[in-house]
Structure 1
């Protein structure tokens, strides 16, 4: 009898853990709380559970209460993303999203070197190709397309160079303009490693490689 009870409790525990993971994976990263830190413009650090909203450039801290920060009073924040893995950092930088005037905007920093940094902003897009699909598809550390119930995680990419944030068009010819001076080396690197010019993880590797080349 005792063994049966223990087995039942163990099975129930595994089931609850599995349900928790399923519920977390049924959401996108911006829809769940992550362990993290927020650093304000005064240099003060706040630790707790962090949730971000890039559409409105807000970040929330859940500790004893919930505090909401805007990009105007945050220098940067970092989270540990258990869903996709790894520490992610978001910096508040002046940029004109709508073409009018610059305001503080959150950008995730994917990789940075002495001269160039690769930034991105994620958003949730409608994916008509996967309408009716249930659960996440293709989850991996390099973040290929994520699909959930007809929606997908998408990204806009930017390069910080010459003290300016420049949006990347996702056209291959423009990649060489963003990373000038090493066209042959980058082309060979992409072919050897089967890298695409418009994938998150591939762009990260290409930019990191460029920064290594430009050190010499």
Structure 2
């Protein structure tokens, strides 16, 4: 039974993972137009080329012209991942990142289940390299300016559990706090398949496996 659950999880989840690193240099998924659809709160569906901006919680639609939709006017939107023809879904959900009043922002849904749903928010992270010199004769040691080394796509992860969106700290002990009742089974699943607690594809598989266990 557990082996069949594992096979089902890998078959379903790997389709949704996709590759976010196959784009041209300096071209990230949020910077290009994708075939997709936007579902408005007015009941209308808008189809065309879609570009998303999670930092400002906006989504753009290109047809003959370009239209801009804030998260407050959108139920959800979908884009086709050009790297593997998969579908990525983003929902507008009320959230309060600073403990203030909640406001609609976009979350990507990685996997959804009866007990938990795994969400994420994508951003571009910049790594810096220290180019300062030290120990120069006649000069005061200084860290100097910093030079951009590289940019990469990164993610913050959240669990929708108990009717609340809760941010995941990327600490393994906190992961198991979101997955009660099956710690031994999940631990074994992670060890057997070499899964980490802080990687996008691995988290998707772990959450999917937990939801499959909870069905039985």
* Short-chain TM bin: 0.7 to 0.9
Q: TM-score, normalised by structure 2?
A: 0.78
Which consecutive unaligned segments of at least 5 residues does structure 2 have? 1-21, 132-147
**1:114 offset after TM fit, Å?**
1.1
**1:127 offset after TM fit, Å?**
1.8
**1:25 offset after TM fit, Å?**
4.6
Q: TM-score, normalised by structure 1?
A: 0.78
> Against the structure 1 CA distance between its residues 53 and 99, is the aligned structure 2 distance closer, same or farther, given a 3 Å change threshold?
same
User: Counterpart of 1:119?
Assistant: 119
Contact 1:24 1:32 in 2 (8 A): no
Deviations 1:84-127 (A, max 9, x none): 65110000000012321100010000000112100000100112
Q: Specify the SS of the correspondent of 2:98.
A: coil
User: Counterpart of 2:157?
Assistant: 157
Q: Specify the SS of the correspondent of 1:197.
A: coil
User: Counterpart of 2:189?
Assistant: 189
Q: Distance in 2 between matches of 1:156 and 1:85?
A: 24
Q: Distance in 2 between matches of 1:167 and 1:84?
A: 28
Question: Per chain length, whose mean CA-contact separation is higher, i.e. which structure has more relative contact order (CA < 8 Å, sep 6+)?
Answer: 2
Contact 1:29 1:83 in 2 (8 A): no
Q: Specify the SS of the correspondent of 1:27.
A: coil
Q: Distance in 1 between matches of 2:105 and 2:126?
A: 23
User: Counterpart of 2:208?
Assistant: 208
Q: Distance in 2 between matches of 1:77 and 1:109?
A: 11
* Total equivalences in the alignment: 178
Contact 2:128 2:149 in 1 (8 A): no
User: Counterpart of 2:60?
Assistant: 60
User: Counterpart of 1:12?
Assistant: none
Q: Specify the SS of the correspondent of 2:169.
A: coil
Q: Distance in 2 between matches of 1:164 and 1:154?
A: 23
Which consecutive unaligned segments of at least 5 residues does structure 1 have? 1-21, 132-147
Q: Specify the SS of the correspondent of 2:159.
A: strand
Q: Distance in 1 between matches of 2:194 and 2:201?
A: 12
Contact 1:34 1:82 in 2 (8 A): yes
Contact 1:93 1:107 in 2 (8 A): yes
Q: Distance in 2 between matches of 1:128 and 1:181?
A: 42
User: Counterpart of 1:75?
Assistant: 75
Matches within 5 A, 1:92-107: 92-107=92-107
